Chains A and B, each alone.
Chain A
Amino acid sequence: MRKLLTAVALAALTVSAYAQQTIKIGVITDRVGVSKPYSEPATEGVIFGAEEINRRGGVLGRKIELLVEDDQSRPDISAALARKLIDQGAVFILSVSLSPATQQQQTVTMEAKTPQMTPMNSADYLTTQLDNPYFWQTGPLGSVQIATLLAHAKTKNFKRVALITDNSDLGQAIAKAFKATLEKGGIQVVAEEVVPRGATTAMPQMQKLRAANPEAMFLAGVLTAENVLIFRAYKELGVKFPIHSSYNLSVPIYETVAKGLIDGITFVDAYDPEKPEVKAFEAAYKKATGKDPQNLHGYGYDGIMLIADAIRRAGSTDKEKIRAAMQQTSYAGVMGAKGMKYSFPEGKRAGFDPNGMVVRVYEKDRQGRVLHVGQK
């Protein structure tokens, strides 16, 4: 956090010196809201990426300058911040708070014809609801996460499973998608439970699931505190069925807040620690900051790299040229399975390869090995 502020302060200080030369990139993040556990490391990844680009001489001979704003994942204030960033001269907006907030920013970027991308938001609707040619998402889509998790589950031949989630919008949406995909695959959902936000226990819900005696439990919840309650109730009730979790469990915060509760849980991720790009990224990040990066840092890093790549190919900071170049992207980043490249074929604006996700497992309290790749 302090580092983030320092970087912002440094960026502010250098404004006067570089006013004419810098390329301004707006970053909309979440420092206090529900998306903080995702947004904070992603933003650190963005800052690290920008510093790396600048160390190597910048883009088109100009340094990148980040303008960072905090929308607390609130759609009601995020659009105004997008407007502010565009007014300050941002040629690209990088959104790393929550999907609904990113969606709201699009109303501004579409009208202002300013390129915008999110490297991590997963809601499928971001590129389908609005026909905004200035917007791209390169995070793995919700539907891809579910398909990948279920492709792995299919290898286990489950017939009867349980589903648990929370009452957040995203948690509900993921649960709905889980259920539809499970049933389409001929797997029966024998019990469904919801742990409301702010709950103090998940015991009753877990008892009901236990009574239904499923072969496995799918976890669609995205609220950290409530998920921890679910894992606690699971242990306290001594139930044994395996847990397959949404992408939310790839947030490394669980390694500390759910200590002792997560061994053996499988989860979808877009990060393969064995991938060469990941190893290079981890080494460079460690060297620059002294800290080990997490998968979430990779999203921010890929985001700023994709933007720099587009501006470089556009050969100018003209927003229309950047838009055209972005659409032609073909770039291998940190995120995704080995060999995956981001691209936007056939005019699509969701750039994560549908076979680019992996299923990993928690080994003790650490995010461990890859068990499964892609949707097959």
Chain B
Amino acid sequence: MQDLLELAVSAAASGCIYGLVALAYLLMIRPTGIINFAVGEWAMVASFGGFIFLTKYEWPYPLGMAVVVAFMMVVGWATERIAVRPLVERGAPLLAPILALLGVLVVTREIISVSFPPDPLPVPFPFGIGRIEIGPVGGSYQSFFIIATTIAVFAGAWFFSRRLSGEKVSRRSR
């Protein structure tokens, strides 16, 4: 039983990572109608950013993460400006920006693969390496951190989209 619960925690933590990437897809496709195939690659870019700031330069975790998040916002903004907006503004068919984003995927992947060695690159955990046991449920600090972060992000996204759709409804009813 203990084994099963431990596995559940660790598997949930891995699943949460995929869940967060899936949410990113959803958040982009819902309002824009364009699927961004480069989202997975962006997650990868962010991980390598984490490696650079947290492992290579050994910045404190909150600062390093803040820089990575800010950097990813710039990446997202630049992609929209360079690859998506010019096409949409000139009335290209819907498929065009999708293919352009596919191109962004390839470019991003190749840049990373030529810039970093094939060795495993570790990134430090925010709370170090340790284990929490809550009754029969046991897992690493990192697993619980990932699960808690994911829940927070999903809850935030849910409130955000509810508020947005609420506004839409009230506008329509006017």
Contacts of B118 in A (CB 8 A): 32, 36
**Interface membership of A100, Cβ < 8 A:** no
Take A200-B14, A228-B120, A228-B122 as given contacts and tell me if A235 and B7 are in contact as well, using a CB distance cutoff of 8 Å.
Answer: no
Take A237-B131, A238-B138 as given contacts and tell me if A257 and B122 are in contact as well, using a CB distance cutoff of 8 Å.
Answer: yes
- Interface size on A (CB < 8 Å)? 24
Contact A258 B122 (CB under 8 A): yes
A224 to B120, CA, bound (A): 8
Q: Considering only CB atoms, which chain B residue lies closest to A208 in the complex?
A: B3
Contact B119 A253 (CB under 8 A): yes
Contacts of B138 in A (CB 8 A): 237-238
Take A200-B14, A228-B122, A235-B140 as given contacts and tell me if A261 and B7 are in contact as well, using a CB distance cutoff of 8 Å.
Answer: no
Contact A260 B129 (CB under 8 A): yes
Contact B10 A260 (CB under 8 A): no
A225 to B119, CA, bound (A): 8
Contact A235 B129 (CB under 8 A): yes
B:105-120 near A, CB below 8 Å: 118-120
**Interface membership of A211, Cβ < 8 A:** yes
Contacts of A207 in B (CB 8 A): 3, 6-7
Contact B6 A203 (CB under 8 A): yes
**Interface membership of A259, Cβ < 8 A:** yes
Interface residue ranges, B against A (CB under 8 Å)? 3, 6-7, 10, 14, 118-122, 124, 128-131, 138-140, 142-143
Q: Is the interface of A mostly helix, strand, loop or mixed?
A: helix
Take A200-B14, A201-B14, A260-B129 as given contacts and tell me if A237 and B6 are in contact as well, using a CB distance cutoff of 8 Å.
Answer: yes
A204 to B140, CA, bound (A): 14
Question: A42 to nearest B CB, angstroms?
Answer: 16
Question: A138 to nearest B CB, angstroms?
Answer: 27
Contact B143 A236 (CB under 8 A): yes
Question: B137 to nearest A CB, angstroms?
Answer: 13
**Interface membership of A75, Cβ < 8 A:** no
- CB < 8 Å neighbour of A259 from B3, B119, B122: B122
Contacts of B128 in A (CB 8 A): 260
- Show 10 A/B contacts (Cβ-Cβ < 8 Å), sorted by A: A201-B14, A203-B6, A207-B3, A207-B7, A235-B129, A236-B10, A236-B142, A237-B6, A238-B131, A257-B119
Contacts of A225 in B (CB 8 A): 120
**Interface membership of A37, Cβ < 8 A:** yes
Contact B124 A259 (CB under 8 A): yes
Contacts of A237 in B (CB 8 A): 6, 131, 138
Contacts of A211 in B (CB 8 A): 3
Q: Is the interface of B mostly helix, strand, loop or mixed?
A: mixed
As a 0/1 sequence over residues 213 to 235 of chain A, the CB contacts with chain B under 8 angstroms (1 = contact) are 00000000000110010001001
Question: B98 to nearest A CB, angstroms?
Answer: 30
A228 to B120, CA, bound (A): 9
Contacts of A16 in B (CB 8 A): none
Take A200-B14, A207-B6 as given contacts and tell me if A261 and B129 are in contact as well, using a CB distance cutoff of 8 Å.
Answer: yes
Q: Considering only CB atoms, which chain B residue lies closest to A229 in the complex?
A: B120
**Interface membership of A256, Cβ < 8 A:** yes
Take A207-B3, A236-B143, A238-B138 as given contacts and tell me if A256 and B122 are in contact as well, using a CB distance cutoff of 8 Å.
Answer: yes
A36 to B117, CA, bound (A): 10
Known: A236-B10, A257-B120. 15 other contacts (CB 8 A): A36-B119, A201-B14, A207-B3, A224-B119, A224-B120, A228-B120, A232-B129, A232-B140, A256-B122, A257-B119, A257-B121, A258-B122, A259-B124, A260-B124, A260-B128
Take A36-B118, A260-B124 as given contacts and tell me if A235 and B131 are in contact as well, using a CB distance cutoff of 8 Å.
Answer: yes
> Among the interface residues A200, A211, A257, A258, which one has the most CB atoms of the partner chain B within 10 A?
A257
Contacts of B120 in A (CB 8 A): 224-225, 228, 257
A204 to B9, CA, bound (A): 12
Contacts of B14 in A (CB 8 A): 200-201
Contacts of B143 in A (CB 8 A): 236
As a 0/1 sequence over residues 17 to 56 of chain A, the CB contacts with chain B under 8 angstroms (1 = contact) are 0000000000000001000110000000000000000000
A232 to B3, CA, bound (A): 16
Contact A236 B7 (CB under 8 A): no
As a 0/1 sequence over residues 256 to 300 of chain A, the CB contacts with chain B under 8 angstroms (1 = contact) are 111111000000000000000000000000000000000000000
A306 to B137, CA, bound (A): 57
A224 to B142, CA, bound (A): 21
Contacts of A201 in B (CB 8 A): 10, 14
Contacts of A236 in B (CB 8 A): 10, 129, 131, 139-140, 142-143
Contacts of A232 in B (CB 8 A): 129, 140
